[in-house]
Structure 1
């Protein structure tokens, strides 16, 4: 290759580098920034931040907790959906728990997804004064799951149980069920392994439609969801109204003002923005001495 050809090729590459640097490194970012400053877009481009008394208190796109230092729900505020992102609503650790409906047995390392749901439902029921019972949960707030031990048939069923254990109720707890197929149910002994048994969830005698909505006890896929369902907001109205010493109708009207319908009329579900609602509560109904 002649030297002149080599030089021309490298000069062309250098020109391409300079042009692309200007276009992608200067022109494009400036254009995007300029568009983001247009009316109606600036707030979203800056993170949809919300302020109170001149201070940024959060984003309408990211959920947050409304609890005290011990993690106890503050009665004067609506509570958000649970989060599995880091320690909760952490944008640097956005994720789901990756646990599914088959995660029903507690281990020595962690509680199962089912027990987490049962515990939350029981706590929310007690806090809001509603029925916290739900299917496959014991009255004590753990997963109602039996390990049925005995010879199995070809389809995996245990037709004649030899032993039945309530695997999520550790001794000396009294099992939620006295007997199963004529066999006395016993509590689980710490350290024992019951994987040889067939795990059988027990629905129990509970309402078909739980009073505590699903979004109150399960985390969203991102862990950052700032919204709750109107149904979850509804069960919290009485508590918030009592804590702020205002009427239930006043709080209900404010919930309605912060409720959005389905996008374009058919996408998604109706939702309530918790942070915006709580900020409005502080503004309209500050705590009275």
Structure 2
């Protein structure tokens, strides 16, 4: 007996649905799970988790902070690059700050509004981080377009005067005059949109002592690596804190430096977690 056309079409659709459910909904996932259990691949499938003495300490693929309870860097550890993922290295909130190179003017905190902290521009974030890293590592933390106080050196220029946009009154502006115009501090809440926004380069070196990855967050906010240059900048501080020779710390840096992806993509990077664990194993800090 020949089935009606509409019924035959529905049965064909149901058979197709059942076949695809079995192949793609059951067989394929089970095959992927089996492949992930192959020795040598299982660690990657589980998130490249790292443990020490049976205790989970992190993932080799996700960066983390090495600070005390107050957010102060622990001197015996290498520090990761900054993170804009949530409160820092949050895998549930991965992402960048989405601030671009033209984001140079801060939103100053209003003293009349309780708990108003304002909002730092990308430039000021970079300047503040560079200054902090410079102080931590004992090097010059100055950068072009940054004030000595660690904020963006940006002026609102008018025909007869200028305003340092990122320095709230009563702070003294980073320059007293700009092109024969007196410079004043900024009043929170004032509208300076009628001025010409002008970043001022200053006298900082063209090649800052603090590397770029020490002051900028990665696109994911989870980058587990730092540049070799940033690692070497920290070597002396870590060696001093652990009572080691700097040369010994630098050898460990070389050991935990990953090469370019596929041999030609990107730059070599140092896995911070693995390096810090190696330091703890070889030269632990007691007390």
| TM-score bin (small chain) | over 0.9
TM-score by length of 1: 0.93
Cα distance in 1 for partners of 2:191, 2:66 equals: 39
Q: Following TM superposition, by how much is the alpha carbon of 1:3 offset from its aligned partner in structure 2, in angstroms? A: 6.2
Cα distance in 2 for partners of 1:288, 1:238 equals: 19
Unaligned runs of 5+ in 2: 109-117
Cα distance in 1 for partners of 2:252, 2:16 equals: 58
Q: Following TM superposition, by how much is the alpha carbon of 1:265 offset from its aligned partner in structure 2, in angstroms? A: 2.4
More moved, 187-196 vs 5-14: 5-14
Match of 1:96 in 2: 96
Residue aligned with 2:145, SS: coil
* Aligned with residue 232 of structure 1, among 230, 233, 254: 230
Match of 1:178 in 2: 176
Cα distance in 1 for partners of 2:168, 2:276 equals: 40
Q: Are the aligned partners of 1:121 and 1:133 in contact in 2 as well (CA < 8 Å)?
A: yes
Q: Following TM superposition, by how much is the alpha carbon of 1:12 offset from its aligned partner in structure 2, in angstroms? A: 1.8
* Aligned with residue 121 of structure 2, among 112, 118, 125: 112
Q: Following TM superposition, by how much is the alpha carbon of 1:5 offset from its aligned partner in structure 2, in angstroms? A: 3.2
Count of paired positions? 277
Cα distance in 1 for partners of 2:124, 2:211 equals: 16
Q: How does 1:92-241 map to 2 (within 5 A)?
A: 92-108=92-108, 109-149=118-158, 161-241=159-239
Q: Following TM superposition, by how much is the alpha carbon of 1:87 offset from its aligned partner in structure 2, in angstroms? A: 0.8
Cα distance in 2 for partners of 1:202, 1:9 equals: 73
Which aligned segments of 4 or more residues in structure 1 are displaced greater than 6 angstroms? none
Cα distance in 1 for partners of 2:268, 2:191 equals: 44
Q: Following TM superposition, by how much is the alpha carbon of 1:263 offset from its aligned partner in structure 2, in angstroms? A: 2.0
Match of 1:4 in 2: 4
* Aligned with residue 268 of structure 2, among 267, 270, 279: 270
Q: Are the aligned partners of 1:62 and 1:226 in contact in 2 as well (CA < 8 Å)?
A: yes
Cα distance in 2 for partners of 1:11, 1:183 equals: 84
Cα distance in 2 for partners of 1:9, 1:164 equals: 77
Structural RMSD (CA): 1.3
Residue aligned with 1:253, SS: helix
TM-score by length of 2: 0.93
Cα distance in 2 for partners of 1:102, 1:70 equals: 32
1:156-185 deviation per Cα after TM superposition (whole angstroms, max 9, x unaligned): xxxxx2121111111111111111111111
* Aligned with residue 251 of structure 1, among 232, 238, 249: 249
Q: Are the aligned partners of 1:104 and 1:113 in contact in 2 as well (CA < 8 Å)?
A: yes
1:125-149 deviation per Cα after TM superposition (whole angstroms, max 9, x unaligned): 0001011000000000000001001
Cα distance in 2 for partners of 1:265, 1:95 equals: 27
Match of 2:112 in 1: none
Q: Following TM superposition, by how much is the alpha carbon of 1:214 offset from its aligned partner in structure 2, in angstroms? A: 0.4
Cα distance in 1 for partners of 2:164, 2:12 equals: 75
Cα distance in 1 for partners of 2:17, 2:264 equals: 47
Residue aligned with 1:8, SS: helix
Q: Following TM superposition, by how much is the alpha carbon of 1:264 offset from its aligned partner in structure 2, in angstroms? A: 2.6
Q: Following TM superposition, by how much is the alpha carbon of 1:56 offset from its aligned partner in structure 2, in angstroms? A: 1.5
Cα distance in 2 for partners of 1:5, 1:178 equals: 88
Cα distance in 1 for partners of 2:212, 2:121 equals: 16
Q: Are the aligned partners of 1:244 and 1:288 in contact in 2 as well (CA < 8 Å)?
A: no
Unaligned runs of 5+ in 1: 150-160
Q: Following TM superposition, by how much is the alpha carbon of 1:10 offset from its aligned partner in structure 2, in angstroms? A: 2.4
